[in-house]
Amino acid sequence: SEKKLSSARLSQPTNAFVEEFTASVQFDQRLFRQDIQGSIAHATMLSQVGVLTDAERQAIIKGLTQIETEIDAGEFNWSIAQEDVHMNIEARLIQLIGETGKKLHTGRSRNDQVATDVRLYLRDMIQPIRRELLRLQSALLDVAEREAETILPGFTHLQTAQPVTFGHHLLAWYEMLARDAERLDDCKKRLNSLPLGAAALAGTTFPIDRELTASLLGFDRICRNSLDAVSDRDFAIEFNSVAAMLMMHLSRFSEELIIWSSAQFDFVDLGDAFCTGSSIMPQKKNPDVPELIRGKTSRVYGNLFNLLTLMKNQPLAYNKDNQEDKEPLFDTIDTLLGSLRVYADMMAGITVNADNMRNAALKGYATATDLADYLVRRGVPFRDAHEVVGLSVAYGIKQKKDLSELSLAELQQFSPHIDNDVFDVLTLEGSVAARDHIGGTAPQRVRQAIGQARQELANL
């Protein structure tokens, strides 16, 4: 079998299946760019401190650059025998530039190398995730603006509660996503710390300059403890918890979209491009995208638990267990990125059946609270007003009439404090317009909130 870089101590070749079983190159090869970037920074630092000559540095960089080109072109020969992305690249470097290639690993271990690569990779991937999230946030604001006056029933317990504007409802989603965006930025700050220099676990005897390596790689800080640097994966767990929360939000929105696009609600149309038909039922238009996102949320939760459990009983410092951090982390990144992307695209094309929303709000006595508030303004204590309205609703249900459809005389049976102006507050439009304060559902407040949100996004 192929000559390994790390096997001199071992007198027997690795069992063929063990070789395959312990290898990670099948999935960690996606770290190649960060691995090369890290190696170039390491070699540059080594030459600055006099451990490598400048000619050696140049040869190493040239070799690594060629390797990157080979990988990009799909011409690189990944080998299970070389175990992982790091050894594959180092072995190829030695093949390409000879003896000098063997000096790259001076003052370094795969333990600080892999920790660095994963941090760099995650940092790189947070960017497109953040971009897709931003696209979704803006799409939400566009629909919210268009539907600032559209009225639908707001629900509690999935029972009609009070009328709200659809714009306002979408802004609730926006707020959740805005916090997720903040959390992403925050976890990015914390992960941006350099492990290189920790070597295997104890540091190195060479006169390394970690500040230089950190600045070459765009790290804000240096991991301060070598044992922590190689064994910590909490940055990955933190990212995965942010991702889990974000997916939880998307899953919740999805649940609403699924309900709203049913024939029984028929509030929204997701667009044919985001739905699929049925192989047997010709009439079907299924909301597959939101359903899949609801489903994929469980993968991301699973990955979070995978990582938490992976770490919970590892003694310091590095253990091979850590190799298992990659697949869940990569899966979370891919799932989150894909989900945000499809959501942003779908949101831009969502259309609303305003009549159905309005009709639904007219059922279910959505303005009952408005009648109670009206009575309170006329001096009736709220508890008494609550009872008056409860009796009016019970009467309306028997008569099969909405509150706004009862006559003044009918309403006055329940309270002498009701006058003709009561009908202003019993309309849906009156009800939403009256909630005219910061955070309220009045169309003008919704427009104001959209303006502020747009400003926030523009200032990013």
Applying CB under 6 A, which residues contact ligand ARG?
Answer: 24, 28, 84, 110-111, 114, 318, 320, 322-323
How many other C-beta atoms lie within 10 A of the C-beta of residue 40? Answer: 19
Rank residues 24 and 39 by Cβ distance to ligand ARG and give the closer one: 24
Q: How far is the CB of 114 from ligand ARG (least distance, A)?
A: 4
Q: Please state, as a whole number, how many other Cβ atoms lie within 10 Å of the Cβ of residue 7.
A: 13
Cα 340 from Cα 422, distance rounded (Å)? 46
CB of 111 to ligand ARG, least distance (A): 5
Please, what's the b/e burial string for 325-348 (b: 16 or more CB within 10 A of its CB; e: otherwise)? bbebbbbbbebbbebbbbbbbbbe
Whole-number minimum distance, CB 87 to ligand ARG, in Å? 8
| Cβ atoms 187, 238 nearer than 8 A | yes
Phi, psi of 348 (to 5 degrees): -65, -25
Distance set, CA 19 to CA 23, 27, 57, 402 (Å): 6, 15, 32, 74
- Give the nearer residue to ligand ARG in terms of CB position, either 28 or 132: 28
SS3 11: coil
Closest approach, Cβ 122 to ligand ARG, in A, equals 14
Kindly provide the b/e burial profile for residues 380-405, where b requires at least 16 CB atoms within 10 angstroms of the residue's own CB.
beeeebbbbbeebbebbeeeeebbbe
- Active-site annotation holder among 157, 279, 407, 437: 157
- Taking alpha carbons only, the member of 195, 143, 455 closest to residue 317 is 195
SS3 at position 52: coil
Q: What's the min distance (Å) between Cβ of 125 and ligand ARG?
A: 17
First to last CA, the chain: 53
With contact defined as beta carbons under 8 Å apart, do 410 and 423 qualify? no
Catalytic residue among 1, 262, 278, 298, which? 278
Q: How far is the CB of 55 from ligand ARG (least distance, A)?
A: 29
Tell me which H or E stretch contains 60: helix 54-72
80 DSSP assignment:
G
Give alpha helix (H) positions in 261-401: 288-311, 326-348, 354-362, 368-377, 382-399
By C-alpha distance, which of 87, 84, 35, 85 is closest to 64?
A: 35
Q: For ligand ARG, which is the closer residue by CB, 28 or 370? A: 28
Catalytic residue list contains 339: no
Q: At 168, is the secondary structure helix, strand, or coil?
A: helix
Nearest to 240 by CA among 116, 111, 126: 126
Minimum distance of ligand ARG from residue 234's CB (angstroms): 16
CB-based contact 255:344 (threshold 8 Å): no
Nearer to ligand ARG, 28 or 180 (CB): 28
Tell me the C-alpha distance between 10 and 135, whole Å: 54
- Helix 32-48 with 85-97: angle, nearest 10 deg: 60
Q: Is 1 a catalytic residue?
A: no
Helix 368-377, helix 382-399: angle, nearest 10: 140
Active-site residue set: 157, 278
